[in-house]
Amino acid sequence: MFLAGDTFHRYRIEEKIGEGGLGFVYRAYDPILHREIALKIVRPEVARTPSGQLSEAALRLMREGRAVASLNHRNAVGIFDVGEIDGTPYIAMELAPGKLLSTYVGDDDVPIRLRIGWLAQIACGLDAAHKEGLVHRDVKPENVMVCDNGEVKLFDFGVVKRVTAPVLDDSEPNSEPVATRVGAVMGTPLYMAPEQALGEAVDGRSDQFAWATLAYELLSGGVHPILGKNPRGVPIVISWFQPGAGPKRLADVALELPAGVSDIVMKALSKLPADRFASMGEIVAALEAIGKAMDAAEQAGDAEIAAAPTMWQPMPIMDAMSGGTSRPRLLSRKAKAWAWALAGVLVVSVAVLGYRFGPWGRRHVAQHH
């Protein structure tokens, strides 16, 4: 492990910002490009096999860097450099300060509009990866960064799979076996699509299923789509075969979702790839349309409040005698609140004046004089 002030290759280590079983992630400084970076380094003890060959962990890191280097998108962490120094592989990546998406799962303070925007950005990053022939295979809240500048970025492409082209027809062969070695299935079981957990061919729709699982959790306040029947770490594909284990409609769990959001998530969560969306791009378009509708409704609501008549202005009403068809304009919530407050002041004022100048008030004053 490196300490602040140490150097690795040309990079100056500033602090450790992450650690895993395979290596460390440091915040470092690149003196040539004059910028801070995130530097991922494989642990020396796991970088090589006893025979001196690069280990699977080291090879995986190198594959990650080379694959993602071709992906230049604002919703994916950028790769600046990939290499090996003294037998230790490394990746120099974009430094994206922020918080993991998992931090916000279950946080009721995050507005639904913002959560939908985050999901659209994740879908956009995945769509870009799939167009490059890359399948992430490990989409989960812990692999998504909500940056301080508002952008959302996918990272940790450590088990990324490159295919020659997005495979959208089950009859087409995949360019590679699903695993990087025979008998191995890569990814996080709790978010794996059924076909991925079974070791079958994967494509962008497998990432789509993982995205839908993540979306279900984020929008429902932390409820997993398989509910409590799926112990942590057990592949979803196993849970599908338990009685009553199918997911509830998201709309039945998250009751305040805009129309259409639940349908999008549930379609992407379909057990069979053929029943999901053809691409993440379709999801992006659908979510962006919903987001624009929400923004328009909010702006219309603000305009209604700004233009709301005071209680001294006549309110337009339906003229039943003349057969008018205009609908009555209702006060907005804010206008109602102000109206009730003003009405309360008037009631209190009338009561005070009545007491002071009414018969009982005059009699009370005469007794004291």
Contact by Cβ (8 Å): 196, 154: no
Torsion, Cα 52 58 59 63, to 10 degrees, reads -150
Q: Is 295 a catalytic residue?
A: no
Q: What b/e string do you get for 35-59 counting C-beta neighbours within 10 Å, with b at 16 or more?
A: ebbbbbbbbeeebbeeeeebbebbe
DSSP E strands in the chain: the ranges are 7-8, 11-19, 23-30, 35-42, 79-85, 88-94, 98-100, 134-135, 144-147, 152-154, 161-162
Question: Looking at 138, 156, 203, 207, which residue is catalytic?
Answer: 138
Contact by Cβ (8 Å): 201, 174: yes
The one-letter code for the residue type at 62 is M
DSSP E strands in 47-159: the ranges are 79-85, 88-94, 98-100, 134-135, 144-147, 152-154
Active-site residue set: 138
